[in-house]
Amino acid sequence: MREIKLQAADNSGEFSAFIWEPQGKASAGAIVVIQEIFGVNDSLRETAQNLADQGFIAIAPDLYWRLRPGVNISDKTEAEWKKAIGLMNRFDQQKGVEDLVTTLAAARTLPGCNGNAGTIGYCLGGRLAVMMAARSDSDVNISYYGVGLDELLPEFEEVESPLMLHIAELDEYFPEASRDKLLSGIEENEWVDAFVYPNVQHAFARVDGIHYDTRAATIANGRTAELLAEILD
């Protein structure tokens, strides 16, 4: 893993982005890995390393840099949850998307990148991945248990590249009525594939997370890997 600095589009400063590179592959697609509310933490870093092991260049920007650079929080204690939620509530999602667009452009020009680039996001990042699908030239976007996606239905109308949604049936942050509204609203959208995973909670694919579910995570990650390989290789 190595760290680079990127200039914010609004010239307000520089932010860090962390890069994991595949071994023994001369040319690879790039994936912008979008953090949960916990920052670019150990779990996200392991996820990025796994993507690199699959043969992709993974790049994870520090989206909290305007609030507090270098956040690395787990989901294990109430104190950490309170800290993470406090950061999320102060986080400017519009600025976050701007930073992601900057990261995506940088990803395409990284040494060894074949020019193809997409996004993958989890929780808060899952929401931002949908926004990137609507607002950027990303080649493919993956959203894991994105929050409040039914509020983004107008954004889905702007999507013109493959977008995959992984949704937890028992997601405590995305109730059934909201899920049904989302699924109904995207039913005719040819760019969007949505999968609902039964009997699992929010963050079922978070590495070492308290709600990690091996079977659901394996199925979801397999679908993700297949789509990323199809579009980015």
Q: Residues with catalytic annotation?
A: 171, 202
Question: Are the CB atoms for 37 and 68 separated by under 8 Å?
Answer: no
Closest CA relative to residue 93, chosen from 155, 175, 158, 4? 155
Q: How many residues does the chain have?
A: 233
Alpha-carbon span 18 to 198, nearest angstrom? 33
Q: 3-state SS string over 142-184?
A: EEECCCCHHHHHHHHCCCCCCEEEEEECCCCCCCHHHHHHHHH
Residue 58: strand, helix, or coil:
strand
Question: Are the CB atoms for 45 and 1 separated by under 8 Å?
Answer: yes
Alpha-carbon span 148 to 131, nearest angstrom? 12
